[in-house]
Amino acid sequence: MQYIKESQKNIDEVTKSLEENIQAAGFGILHIHNLAQTMHNKGIELGEECRIYEICNPKLAKEVLSEDMSINMVLPCRISVYSDKGVTKIGMINPSTLLQESSHGEKLQRVANEVEEKAQNIINLSS
């Protein structure tokens, strides 16, 4: 269900690489959530770094949404860069897993597999 890679790089190095690799793979960054900063602003210290990237490939998103508009509930895809006890990690929930429990057709599973392959490649290149 989860795809997680550890990195020898620090958070800033991974996020820089991730941003470049997202663009190179034909995806766009819709938003970056800095969870540690958001919680800090609300008076809560997380104690770890966590940046969540919302990414999207418009062509693939349109293909999926044209088939089943309710899939919007699992879009956009997310890739997280975070620290866990001093170890930098980068990961995501596999899109194919999100669709396995549904009764969606073969076409949607094919697109989910394509997105998953591309996102895992982005993670591998960035870690």
Distance in Å from the first CA to the final CA of the chain: 19
- 65: domain range? 2-126
Judge contact between 25 and 18, C-beta under 8 A. Answer: no
Predicted TM-score (pTM) of this structure: 0.90
CATH number of the domain enclosing 93: 3.30.310.70
Per-residue pLDDT of the chain (127 residues; tens, 9 = 90+): 899 999 999 999 999 999 999 999 999 999 999 999 999 999 999 999 999 999 999 999 999 899 889 888 889 999 999 999 999 999 999 988 877 666 567 778 888 889 999 999 999 999 9
Number of domains in the chain: 1
